[in-house]
């Protein structure tokens, strides 16, 4: 069985466009790929998760969907863009027992984050939700830190006495001082100690852009309150989840499951100046190199790398949706053929 975690293709995605009250006016986002895989003989399901929700929330939504629709079955996950991070979180931190994951195939997923998301944070002020970083950041990362520093510290999401305004380090200190707790475990190495300290700093940092080489752009949002006011309603946890600093911490706390096959595909394109992704492509190209307009070639690689296709990030969607931008770019990429190839390769592996 194949489950496509692509219903919300990264930020502001969707599984259908149009009024819910008039079904025949709706454009189903992944319909072409769904039909092609069904014709190939696959049992296909398309998950629906929050388009701008944090990874943790999306992963739990994905888990609930699979548990409800395919209990007891073996599932091969094919995930586009941010969906790949949802799948990895689900496998490592939720560890569902009612179904089995055979493989995770990611397509243009920003495993190492995106420098364009860094730009959105630094230039437009997006992704600086401090309350989210402190309280709603993936509890898997927090739990990993707490379990490393003390054997009996509780998960902060389950501690009602903790206020969102408290820092993670102050919470750890408070718990350590309790006489009811056992003596904290020592770090196995200086590297482990430094790793935990860096992750705690990441979770508490208000502005972590200094961790990476600065860009030449001007921080527009900081200089112009009106611009900041215009963009602030667009802010969402997902922006934070896709920065390079966040993904570095996420990867450290989210190891692969050795019983699951991981594969990845990337996309690389020379984006036209008339294309919507030209601006983001230029930013990523300067900082990370070859990319598809949103995700770099390097960031898209995870597990067994299956290669890069010649298209931009939006070319990886079905023709009906891709036609909205292909009219500008003049490019025609066979997205359906790519997903059929993925399904065939999984079948050849006995998955």
Residue 126 is assigned to a structural domain of this protein: no
Could you tell me if 68 and 22 lie in one domain? yes
89 plus 149 within the same structural domain? no
* 305 within 8 A of 232, measured Cβ to Cβ: no
Cβ atoms of 288 and 266 within 8 Å: the answer is no
155: in domain: yes
Tens-place pLDDT, residues 176-187: 444 333 333 344
Count: domains in the chain: 2
What percentage of residues in the chain have a pLDDT greater than 90? 33
DSSP run (H or E) holding 337 = helix 335-348
Neighbours of 68 (CB within 10 A): 9
342 and 294 within one domain: yes
Residues 88 and 162 both lie in one domain: no
Question: Same domain for 266 and 338?
Answer: yes
Q: Are residues 158 and 101 in the same domain?
A: no
Residues 6 or more apart whose Cβ sits within 8 Å of residue 13 = 6, 7, 29, 51, 81
- 91 and 145 in a single domain? The answer is no
Alpha helices for 81-224 (secondary structure H): 83-89, 115-124, 130-131, 139-149, 168-176, 190-204, 220-223
pLDDT digits (tens, 9 = 90+) for 43-55: 888 887 877 788 8
Does the structure show a pLDDT above 50 at 191? yes
User: Among candidates 298, 289, 314, 329, which has minimal Cα distance to 11?
Assistant: 314
Average pLDDT on 286-296 reads 96
User: What is the rounded average pLDDT of the residues 67-88?
Assistant: 91
Q: Are residues 269 and 187 both part of a single domain?
A: no
Closest among 78, 82, 31 to 341, alpha carbons compared = 78
**255 lies in the same domain as 286:** yes
Burial class for 335, CB neighbours closer than 10 Å (0-12, 13-18, 19+) = buried
Tell me the average pLDDT across 314-337.
65
Together in a domain, 256 and 343? yes
Domain that holds residue 177: 131-206
pTM: 0.69
């Amino acid at each position: 069985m194949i489950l496509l975690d692509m219903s919300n293709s990264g930020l502001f995605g969707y599984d259908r466009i149009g009024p819910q009250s008039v079904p025949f006016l709706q454009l189903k986002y992944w319909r072409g790929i769904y039909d092609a895989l069904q014709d190939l003989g696959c049992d296909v399901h398309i998950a629906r998760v929050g388009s701008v929700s944090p990874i943790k929330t999306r992963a739990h939504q994905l888990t609930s969907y699979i548990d409800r629709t395919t209990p007891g079955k073996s599932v091969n996950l094919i995930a586009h863009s941010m969906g790949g991070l949802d799948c990895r979180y689900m496998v490592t931190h939720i560890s569902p027992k009612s179904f089995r994951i055979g493989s995770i195939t990611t397509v243009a997923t920003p495993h190492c984050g995106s420098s364009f998301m860094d730009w959105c944070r630094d230039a437009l002020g997006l992704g600086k939700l401090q309350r989210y970083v402190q309280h709603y950041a993936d509890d898997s990362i927090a739990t990993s830190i707490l379990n490393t520093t003390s054997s009996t510290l509780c998960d902060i999401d389950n501690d009602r006495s903790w206020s969102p305004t408290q820092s993670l380090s102050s919470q750890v200190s408070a718990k350590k001082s309790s006489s009811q707790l056992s003596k904290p475990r020592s770090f196995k190495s200086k590297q482990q100690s430094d790793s935990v300290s860096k992750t705690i700093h990441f979770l508490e940092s208000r502005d972590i852009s200094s961790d990476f080489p600065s860009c030449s752009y001007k921080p527009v949002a900081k200089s112009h309150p009106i611009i900041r006011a215009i963009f602030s309603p667009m802010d969402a946890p997902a922006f934070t989840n896709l920065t390079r600093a966040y993904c570095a911490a996420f990867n450290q706390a989210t190891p692969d499951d050795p019983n699951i096959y991981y594969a990845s595909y990337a996309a690389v394109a020379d984006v036209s100046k008339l294309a919507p992704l030209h601006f983001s492509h230029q930013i990523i190209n300067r900082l990370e190199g070859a990319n598809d307009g949103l995700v770099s070639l390097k960031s898209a690689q995870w597990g067994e790398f299956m290669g890069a296709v010649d298209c931009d990030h939006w070319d990886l969607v079905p023709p009906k949706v891709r036609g909205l931008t292909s009219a500008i770019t003049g490019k025609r990429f066979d997205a359906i053929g790519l997903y059929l190839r993925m399904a065939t390769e999984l079948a050849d592996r006995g998955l």
